[in-house]
Amino acid sequence: MQNRGRLRAGGVLPRGLARALAVAFAAACARRSWLRAALATALALAVALGPSIGPSLGQPLRSFMPSAFAAATAANVPGVYPAVPTPRQPSGGGLPGFHAPPSMPSYASGTTAGGPVRTQPARMPFYVATRGTTTIYLLGTLHVGDPADYPPNQPFRAPVLAALNASPTLALELSPDDLLVSQDDVSKYGVCRKPCLQQLLPEPLWAKLAARLRGNPEALAEIRKMKPWLASLLVETYDSLSAGLQTEYGTEAQLQNVYLRLKGRRVVGLETLAEQMRAFTHLTLAQQREMLAQDLAQTPAQNVADVQTLLRLWRLGDADAIAAWDAARTEKLAHDPRVAASVDNRIVYERNRRFVARMQLYAAPNKPLFVAVGALHLGGRNGVLQLLQQRGFTVDPG
């Protein structure tokens, strides 16, 4: 049975897709380039692509993003801990030119998407910021991941686990409560009542998008109803999932699996859903077009290779190296460098400043705060680590 949500404005989407887009939007701000949205958005698909969507929309989405059907809704629900996933083959019918996600071997086979199962967790970008008796632990996250990076017996390095144990509060970009009540908001602002995307794009850009979706008319019909920024997120999501990553192995989901087993702890957000929403809804049409143009500047295979490069850098744990790589990538892909810079300022740097202000509100002497935000928020001259140093914190690798 198809469950539909009526929107006060904009279009109408099935509840499952509406929820997907809401979580996608909330998570999409996690990275400095458009690639940040791709990895973040996959969390949404863990929630959306399940029994709540009806057959008419379910099939085009299954064709559009087949690997998302292997994800568990527990990735976003506090207090529910997903088991090691059972591998599932893609459902077929993928987009021409898009690389279908590979099957996901389980731990039982001794391998994962990243190769043999490792006995040690990934290093990850992890830092300790101190000012007097105030301590803030900072972990740079990826919103989808490889199970090889989270060994079942020890998903995080000992210093990370010790920091979690010492912290009464875990701060994510958005609180779990906001994620769970955000089902209609993205649809309200990102979906038109009737097809609108083609009219909002220059003809060459629309032609490139239509070619990318060639052979999948159902998916193209759905994306026609979306504004450019939302279409951008969905195109990126497929490419990141095609890299072989899994939503239930996103860092936030794994952190909560550990943290919510501890007693007397709370999980908070560094910004509200409305604040994240404005990051995209206040983009000009030129800025939205820039996002989509960057998504389509490379082939899907090239985008997948970039996702894999980011994963390798994240495993090394150097936030500044990640930021430098991402800046070079953005410079290479930018259609209009001036517009691209303005988008970065809106959806990354302004939010970094808000994050740091909220961290200081939550942190207290002798009550450490554990912060987990997208890895590309941390490094660089406008990153969270630099902003904390400007406010008198000493920042060291953890």
Provide the pLDDT for residue 184: 67
Give dist(CA 224, CA 234) in Å, integer. 12
Residue 113 has pLDDT above 70, yes or no: no
102 within some domain: no
pLDDT digits (tens, 9 = 90+) for 46-100: 333 333 323 333 344 444 443 332 332 223 323 333 333 333 333 333 322 333 3
Q: Which residues of 334-343 are buried (b: 16+ CB within 10 A; e: fewer)?
A: bbeeebbebb
Which residue in 376, 323, 370, 324 sits closest to 351, CA to CA? 376
Residue range 38-50: average pLDDT? 35
Q: What is the pTM of this model?
A: 0.76
Q: What proportion of the chain, given as a percentage, has pLDDT over 90?
A: 51
131-147 average pLDDT score: 94
**Mean predicted confidence (pLDDT) in 253-271:** 92
Residue reference for tokens 């995209």: 280
Q: What residue has token string 């863990």?
A: 46
Is residue 100, in this structure, part of any structural domain at all? no
- The per-residue pLDDT for 392 is 98
Task: Write the single-letter amino acid at 355.
Answer: F
Question: Cα(311)–Cα(327) distance, rounded to whole angstroms?
Answer: 16
Q: Is the pLDDT of residue 293 over 70?
A: yes
Q: Domain count of the chain?
A: 1
173 lies in some domain: yes
Residue with tokens 């629309």: 206
86 occurs within a structural domain: no
Count of positions (residues) in the chain: 398
Mean pLDDT score of the chain? 76
**Inside any domain, residue 185:** yes
- The answer to whether residue 236 sits within a structural domain is yes
Contact (CB, 8 A) for 336 and 284: no
Q: Which residue range(s) make up the domain with 20?
A: 10-69+125-397
